[in-house]
Amino acid sequence: MAIEFDALSYPNASRRTTVYGRKGMVATSQQLAAQAGLDILKRGGNAVDAAIATAACLTVVEPTSNGIGGDAFALVWMKGELHGLNASGPAPMGISIDKLKAQGFAEMPKYGWHPVTVPGAPSAWAALAKRFGRLPLAELLEPAIRYAEEGYAVSPTLSSFWNRNYERHVKEFPKVLLDQWSELFMPEGAPPKPGDIWRSRRHAETLAEIAATDAESFYRGALADRIDRFSRETGGYLRKEDLARFAPEWVKPISASYKGFDVWELPPNGQGIVTLMALNIFQGLDTSGDDAARYAHRQIEAVKLAFEDGLEEIADPSRLREGVIAELLSEEYADRQRRRIGEEAIVPRTPPVPTGGTVYLCTADGEGNMVSYIQSNYMEFGSGLVVPGTGIALHNRGHSFSLNPAHRNALEPGKRTYHTIIPGFLSKDGEAIGPFGVMGAFMQPQGHFQVVLGALDQGLNPQAILDAPRWRWDEGRKVLVEPSFPRELAEALRARGHEIAVGDNPGLFGRGQIIWRNPRTGVLSGGTDPRTDGAVVAW
């Protein structure tokens, strides 16, 4: 007789400690995926190979947050240089604001074909492998294919997300979408419980096809044909021509200096610049005499002010104002915003920030190479559309578009939208310190900001940074705090005008991973977020 218990109940305190290694390390939100990446390192692969294997595995072992049909971004430290990859796809050429408004939409829908943009994740795997990898893509995707084919035991947090998302989908998905989705993700008629086995042979076949063709099949071959046919038959906009013209873009990372360290993010259309703006605003404040409440208050205000212009300006790079990145990262801009921070909470001119689903991973090898990588279906399982016979759940990234033609982020054919997923990286004096990230829609810049301050202001180790209770600004004066957030600090923030509420869903506060490298010894140290089923594995 099986013992029944609540896998998410923790009546006794537990703790994690920082993990150390020398020859390699992988940190991510699912231990099976982390082990897959470490196995690749032990086979002679480098940090990039390990990142690809881990990312592909996550589409199988954490389908509640990412999939083959999502987007991806990466920061790659290779042989002393940092490289950026933007693998976010554009809107189909056949969609437009006029078409959506003619159908009665006042804003971008969440589900169905309207928010589906070209998926970029498979292209990211192929591009990373081609430029920096050592091992063939077929070998890197083998662990993911095996887990999809043979199945795996579902972990506790994954089961919780699966169940929560199903309950939401029942309310919000049209029945035809729900039936498609349920066939793939609930073959037994209910969301899997912790310890249940889930498998998807169709997912395995698709991954094998991607591996065998270096992702060409997804964009120009048999898989592209399937996506095109499904779209045409069900009223979609995505076409094989949209897939065929897409290619990921290698970009130059952007940075801000904080206390002698360089904090790196990718440029727009990602929102990483919001983190850098907040750091620039905050570091000009004299916090030496601040008590805990004033220190936290000024952090929240800096993030608000960074989002204020970030949400207005971030868009497809081709639509950015000339010189806007330099302007937003200038000391003049930071000083102007900084002077608006007083002793009470202000109300910035920004809309509410929604939630989403994402996975983050980071890797390092014994040669000093490191990867900060993130991929997402945006809102949990994405659009609700599953391409028949493939296991491909299509994302809903286009929900971030505006239907206001005057907005910089307005929907246009062939245009990339404001993107929430951002990988982070830290360096000092030209030496890599390491990758970090906090997944979770618009929480991500806030999570990055809190990670950097935890490391550089408070001197915390990677695990302590991720264990620390977080706050999350949502809109106006509204701030969510975790149940473990100090009550007296929350009350002091409330006295400063912040509208404090406790968020009981750990997913609202992001799920992070960190790997730091000691430039002197080469020793790696890593932490993983207690808000997920994560693992740091080292060699």
pLDDT digits (tens, 9 = 90+) for 459-517: 999 999 999 999 999 999 999 999 999 999 999 999 999 999 999 888 889 999 999 99
* C-alpha separations of 177 from 171, 231, 296, 379, 454 in Å: 12, 13, 43, 15, 43
**How far is it, in rounded angstroms, from Cα 427 to Cα 437?**
14
| CA Rg value for the chain | 22
206 annotated active-site: no
Closest CA relative to residue 156, chosen from 195, 197, 200:
195
| C-alpha dist (Å) from residue 130 to 50, 125, 127, 137 | 14, 9, 5, 9
Confidence class for position 12, pLDDT limits 50, 70, 90: very low
d(CA 245, CA 307): 32
Give 95-114 pLDDT, tens digit per residue: 999 999 999 999 999 999 99
- Which parts of 290-423 are beta strand (E)? 357-365, 370-378, 386-387, 392-393
* Percentage of residues in the chain having pLDDT higher than 70: 96
CA 185: distance to chain centroid? 21
**β-strands 71-78, 81-87: how paired?**
antiparallel
User: What's the CA gap between 193 and 12, in Å, rounded?
Assistant: 22
- pLDDT at residue 6 tops 70: no
Q: What whole-number distance in Å separates Cα of residue 118 and Cα of residue 86? A: 13
Assign 355 a pLDDT band (cuts: 50, 70, 90).
low
Outline where 151-291 has alpha helix (H): 156-172, 175-185, 201-212, 216-220, 222-233, 240-245, 272-283
At 11 the pLDDT is 45
Section 77-91 average pLDDT:
97
Catalytic residue among 59, 157, 350, 358: 358
What is residue 102's predicted lDDT score, i.e. its pLDDT?
97
pLDDT at 357: 67
**pLDDT value for 13:** 52
Enter the DSSP assignment of 89: P
Looking at residue 507, what is its pLDDT?
Answer: 82
Q: Which of the four pLDDT bands, split at 50, 70 and 90, describes residue 173?
A: confident
* CA–CA distance, 255 with 426 (Å, rounded to integer): 9
Residue 7, pLDDT above cutoff 80: no
- Return the structure tokens found at 191: 């969301």
Contact 8, 160 (CB under 8 A): yes
Mean pLDDT of 401-410: 96
* Cα(236)–Cα(251) distance, integer angstroms: 31
What value does the mean pLDDT take over residues 22-38? 97
Band of the pLDDT at 403, cuts 50, 70, 90? very high
